[in-house]
Structure 1
């Protein structure tokens, strides 16, 4: 029965993610905000809702490994999604033609992710807040990125004014977006509960289940949002949703730190150290891919490297 609930929750999450991507694409045009801002913050936040419920629920289940593993695993899987689609749609050269402002988001993402493995080794707790200094740094970097991203509109969207026959009004798109987001929030809770039970039944352990089974499941909205964005010929929305989701997931880790008694990263298993370091490496590779643009001899090199490091991290968590 647990497995059935888990599968049903995944199916409903996928359907809701398909709808939310279409609504986001409509909102980006109808509101005039642009796909970069919508993808980085609105769509990224919505598709990360399963990670919110999963990680927060794990805290109340007194399972910090599940919470930390879910965030790290989700971010690893998100980068895998972008890399795989980059390989599939290699002729589009996604990472070459996305807006230059995504450089800043990718760079901030890398800096935020470097903090995680460092905090797993050592962190200083702030007495009044009862959280590690790593949490404060991650939040500060996220807010700084938000300020940088909101200062000006992407040049590519300023220069391109394509007439599109709208399927929804702005009100319909916003209403549909929040309805789909609420659905994703509910299914995320079910994924957490069933995932915790599966970890107990199978004996695989919370670190592996959190980092890969649940993390992969809760990242399905991101996968579907990227797929739909490509179908809508909106590469900026696709890349922004993945990069933005990774930043938002780290905010979830900060929220868990506030809710958990003590430092959540210090309480988590040391097995997360290697996966978080591989996550930082993959984030660095993504930054290189975006910054280098046409300066690479082999276009698919970075994406293939990201896929390889994901496989290494999966094997590491399964073995150890």
Structure 2
């Protein structure tokens, strides 16, 4: 049906679906914060796992739909481009939090573990794309490895928060995660989970519309699928991460803001796994071009810089933000420039 729409209608569909995705993100922030308090898991874990997963659902649907349509570059670039865009969103959050560098104030071991996990998963994807072209039933072994690594990483993240082997130094600017209410309200927790699941399903439906509209725009405007995936569908489906991050900072939930971005990025790597399964013309990793791998490398570099910032914890740098935010913004701007020149 979308293939028969005119260009103005396709653009309108893309914009409306994007706005719909963005609006849902506001409600999900409050729900995720409450879930972190009710379950006792904390903002960093809930933000890194539950909120990161839910706000990524629209992006998952985009990548899977594109892969089923045989659009390997769109599926791949949507996932890795979203990682780059969402990491850049942290710069906006850092600018909003004027008390200190946000990575300093949001000191949380779970976020450091999540960032290291994300770096490992991106490296595995890069190895798969640059290594031998192998596949079992059309699926590269690296896709299975990514799921295993993610599962073990989530388990490790929860464990280090419960029994950390070291703690970040507390300073006057450090913001701790203090639950708003007492945990153990079973019925209330059940209602929160139902609301959260309903919003996540609606995000998935909007993601399907974004994927179809994005693929159609690539055909009609003659824009490469890499450009559409990395800079259009990826940014649009990442709007929940942007909105939830900024809303979380305004609420003072810094660990939720940081954990939501890093956790969402970690889950976004699994886009490659599900896209590899959905893509039926062999291994997805060897059906993409150098431009797609460029965005994967940019995401890896930005994550490494963020991890350094979380460890160094500079209190205040240029424009009141840390060196990591300045570098991340520079890397993303460079990536956009390179993509525009191709």
Aligned: 1:280 with 2:288: no
The answer to which of 172-181 and 213-222 deviates more is: 172-181
Unaligned runs of 5+ in 2: 1-8, 168-175
Pairwise mapping of residues 1-320 of structure 1 onto structure 2 (< 5 A)?
Answer: 1-98=9-106, 99-123=108-132, 125-127=134-136, 130-153=138-161, 161-163=178-180, 169-261=188-280, 262-294=282-314, 300-320=322-342
Residue 310 and residue 294 in structure 1: after superposition, are their counterparts in 2 closer, same or farther (change >3 A)?
closer
Instruction: Give the CA deviation at 1:133.
Output: 3.2
Instruction: Give the CA deviation at 1:296.
Output: 8.4
Instruction: Give the CA deviation at 1:295.
Output: 8.5
Instruction: Give the CA deviation at 1:125.
Output: 2.2
| Whole-angstrom CA distance in 1 between matches of 2:154 and 2:261 | 16
The answer to which of 201-210 and 73-82 deviates more is: 201-210
| Whole-angstrom CA distance in 1 between matches of 2:248 and 2:144 | 33
The answer to which of 206-215 and 137-146 deviates more is: 137-146
| Whole-angstrom CA distance in 1 between matches of 2:97 and 2:31 | 23
| Whole-angstrom CA distance in 1 between matches of 2:257 and 2:34 | 14
Q: Structure 1, residues 186-245: CA drift from partner, whole Å, max 9, x if none?
A: 111111111111111211121100111111000001111101111221000111110001
Q: SS of 1:131's equivalent?
A: coil
| Whole-angstrom CA distance in 1 between matches of 2:317 and 2:193 | 43
User: Normalising by the residue count of structure 2, what TM-score does the alignment of the two structures yield?
Assistant: 0.86
Unaligned runs of 5+ in 1: none
Residue 267 and residue 242 in structure 1: after superposition, are their counterparts in 2 closer, same or farther (change >3 A)?
same
Residue 313 and residue 116 in structure 1: after superposition, are their counterparts in 2 closer, same or farther (change >3 A)?
farther
| Whole-angstrom CA distance in 2 between matches of 1:41 and 1:305 | 26
| Whole-angstrom CA distance in 2 between matches of 1:227 and 1:281 | 23
Instruction: Give the CA deviation at 1:68.
Output: 0.3
The answer to which of 66-75 and 275-284 deviates more is: 275-284
User: Normalising by the residue count of structure 1, what TM-score does the alignment of the two structures yield?
Assistant: 0.91
